[in-house]
A and B are shown apart, each in its own frame.
Chain A
Amino acid sequence: MSVKIIPDRCRGCGRCLTVCPGDLIALDSSLAAIKEPELCWGCAACLKTCPYEAIALYLSPAQGGRGLKLTIKKDGTTLFWKATAPDYQTVIVTDSAKAKDY
């Protein structure tokens, strides 16, 4: 209960398979699939690696989750973190090369 693959965005490139610290992602019918969702740590390594915004982080009900999903659009060292729900949308920008943007 942590990350979900968005099937119509996933292109099966397999990049996420090579960053998951728990080896929890596999290719299933040439798309990424989370093998054991309950073992996900929520580190977001896969979100940061996916070039297609095809992986969403969310909170389980036990963590106060109410359906908001977080995806990342990447542009070099800049990350656009998009939190979306049918009634809500916001974007937060971080840049790992810029120290002053804490």
Chain B
Amino acid sequence: MTLDSKAPKDVNDAKPVCPAPFSLTTVTHRAAVVVVGGGVAGSRAAILLAESGLNVILLEKAFIERSGCLAPGVNALNAYIGYGKTPIDYVDYATNDAHSIARKDLLLSMSKLLNEEALWLESIGLAIHKDSKGRYLERSWRNIQVNGGDLKPLIAKATRAQEKILVLEQILATHILTSDNKALGVMGLNLKTGKIVEALAPAVIIATGGAAGLYRPANPPESQNRIWYSPFNVGSGLAMGLRAGAEMTTLEMRFVALRVADTLAPTGTLALGVGASQLNAKNQAYEAEFGHTTSQRVLAFRRQIQRGLGPCSLTAACDPESRARIYRAYLNMCPSQTLQFLESERALKGQIPDRLTTEIAASEPLVQGGHTAGGYWVERDRRTTIEGLWAIGDVAGGCPQKYVTGSLAEANIAATAIAELFKTGSLKSLSHPEDQPLNQELDPELNQPLTQALAKAHQEITRFSQNEPSLFTAKEITQAARKVLDIYAGGIAAGYAYSFASLTAAESRLTALMELTEGLKADSPQTFAAIWEVKDRLLVSLALVAHLKARKETRWPGFGEYLDYPVLDDSLGFVNSRLTPKGIEIIHRPIYPNGLKSEKSL
């Protein structure tokens, strides 16, 4: 395929006219690698790629100082190999916790780098607690204490120090540009200027995090975003990947978090920090009734409520010094929780009890690959099923229990693999737009497909401004979709249970809502963002429902119960999916002995 002589010399000349509210100008950037998402994973990948001499474009929806799920900070690194333990121990722990639905090859490659990444965090200024011998202070064999209220600004500072990273903020990424299953770049919208942004590169890393806000949340509408995970992670990376044809895995392994009631604050700070244990309303300990995995512990809690033994609490004897330490620890990760403790103290008018106690609750289900294993189906170097596309952090599947250090480890793995491809000449960096016309440096065969992909993406963004004012808003459709999942796909209202019939109802209602989004009108970049995000959420929700339907067993009863299929079926393997013109197609992939993707992959 060669360029038609009448074809534009540069893709910039081929822009369709964008009607208001979008700016008439498009900004095009070119580099070696585009990273989507400036959370810990994306920022770390960008830094490592820049250090290897590559130009990187980092696209971020907010500002990298406080974006992603670590915006509030963190008080522990939950993935660490403690003294006397090995990466294999971590692999076994995570596989067991996932009830065998995990990729040991991915887990092992991650586990080997966990401690190295903790050292990197310390090198950029993270204060890590140490014992008298100068060793990191362990909260458990896989968990160390940190003073991480400002972890994200530290990583942002290290990112901004790299001259080879172009940080573009307030960009809503909308499309992975592809041709023939090959990634060519990313398109997005600048939410402040309304300009469409094209970031072109032969390698793209998706690091957009998991999906929150699919289900109706635990708190009421006036504090609906007071959830545990970042509410601004709406699953865009998963939706972009689905639209581009990428294969996803294990979305049905929803994460239901056992958290402090009302604030949804993490409980590990109390459980590991002061040895707090769960007690039901009759002061009975119940945690280990079904076993020790995350799902089994959530189930034990839920059963107390169902048996009339709730509310349940986390309770520990606590001297004033430990209490002060816990208050500080929560300020470093979830300040609302310290405020909740102080409200209780205030109500007691200075009579501070010698026990620290707080009610616990289960969160709404989330889809993410950081605690559970839902996300892109990847190879060991974190490449996806699309050529030139990698996925890391909470958006990458098959590798649960990654937390902060695991996300950094995945960034390290992907960046190392990508740098090697440039070094060997398998990938060639694109130059700055002013230096050379794109069609002169791009593989001639890619010119026309790229022009087409860009035009299609432009049209998909701008079409919403041509709609007549619509009866409904994106917000109303978002709330409707949350209600659907809550009731028909095992949300809090349904006691986390679902059936084939209820999932079928969810599918048809979500499909109807998706059709409604086509009529929504964008009259500003912000209204466009609201429309696009509800479309992303609906697509991820549809994929999730298809996954739930296909896993015809109850594998993780704490996270969800398939009422038609209450028992285990080990023949199901991994449940994977792809978006095709006919809808979500389910693919079953076998789990080879030891949880491997293929028999020889470890």
Contacts and interface: CB of A to CB of B under 8 A. Distances in A.
Interface residues of A, number: 49
A3 B331 CA distance: 15
A38 B263 contact: no
A22 B335 contact: no
* Residue with the highest number of chain A CB atoms closer than 10 Å, among B224, B263, B342: B342
Nearest to A95: B147
B72 A44 contact: yes
A60 B219 contact: yes
Nearest to B60: A21
A23 B66 CA distance: 11
Contacts, number: 161
A22 B328 contact: no
Given A18-B65, A38-B225, A60-B223, A96 B150 contact: yes
Main secondary structure of the interface of B (DSSP, over half): mixed
A33 B535 CA distance: 28
A39 B231 contact: yes
A23 B170 contact: yes
Interface in A56-102: 57-60, 62-66, 68, 70, 77, 79, 81, 83, 85, 87-88, 90, 92-102
B347 interface: yes
Contact of A102 (B219, B329, B339, B347): B329
Contacts of B231: 22, 39, 41
A58 B325 CA distance: 21
Given A63-B226, A102-B147, A81 B338 contact: yes
A18 B74 CA distance: 21
B313 interface: no
Given A22-B231, A92-B328, A98-B147, A45 B263 contact: no
Contact of A41 (B75, B125, B230): B230
A66 B346 contact: yes
Contacts of B339: 57-59, 65, 68, 70, 83
B584 interface: no
B67 interface: yes
B147 to A, nearest CB: 5
A43 interface: yes
Interface in A30-55: 37-45, 47-48
Given A21-B71, A43-B71, A102 B223 contact: no
A interface, over-half SS = loop
A38 B224 contact: yes
Name, among B146, B148, B231, B325, the residue most crowded by chain A CB atoms within 10 Å (CB to CB): B231
Interface in B55-113: 62-63, 65-68, 71-72, 75
Contact of B225 (A23, A41, A57, A59): A41
A6 interface: no
B327 A102 contact: no
B67 to A, nearest CB: 5
Contact of B340 (A47, A59, A81, A97): A59
Contact of A63 (B66, B146, B262, B347): B262
Contacts of A20: 62, 66
Given A23-B191, A48-B149, 12 more contacts: A20-B66, A21-B71, A37-B222, A39-B224, A41-B227, A44-B72, A45-B72, A58-B339, A60-B219, A92-B328, A96-B148, A102-B328
